[in-house]
Amino acid sequence: MDAKPVSQSVVTMTELVHPSHTNALNSAFGGVIVSWIDICAAICAMRHSRKHVVTASIDALNFVNPVYAGWIVNLHASVNYVARTSMEVGVRADAENPIMGETFHVASAYLTFVALSDQKKPIVIPQVIPETDIEKHRYAAAEKRRAVRLAMREKN
């Protein structure tokens, strides 16, 4: 199974915040943003593995700035690290006020996905090749996060 560069599965997704996506303060529900993050990451994981995937976990997700109706949310996802049957995908969400032309960081998250066989069992997937300095940094950081996740799982 050939390893794949990060660039082969990068996803950029754009969403418009509709009034139905907002709360009483006219800002987007956090759950809507989480849903978009999960979808963007899942597409990235499927592109990398060429398999169906399921979300295994979402690490700490912090909302940095609100997003209002009529604004645009741009999501960027890439595979940071691959173990055997699972992979970490990093997603960054930025909001764009199209009238003012300003952009704001909204949230970042690390999601772990497991690739599944046709029998819906975990299946081995290709390793990822970090090529740029940023990708190499993300790979190393993801490897450390995985070790922490595994240690936490052992405790429970």
At residue 154, the pLDDT reads 85
At residue 153, the pLDDT reads 83
At residue 156, the pLDDT reads 76
At residue 155, the pLDDT reads 85
Q: Kindly list the averaged pLDDT for each block of 10 residues, start to end, along the chain of length 156.
A: 94 98 96 98 98 94 95 98 97 97 97 97 97 97 93 84
Question: Is residue 21 within 8 Å of residue 69, measured between CB atoms?
Answer: yes
For the whole model, what pTM was predicted? 0.94
Domain boundaries of the chain, sorted by first residue: 4-155
Q: Which CATH superfamily hosts domain 4-155?
A: Hotdog Thioesterase (3.10.129.10)
Q: How many CA atoms lie within 13 A of 81 on its CB side?
A: 17
At residue 76, the pLDDT reads 98
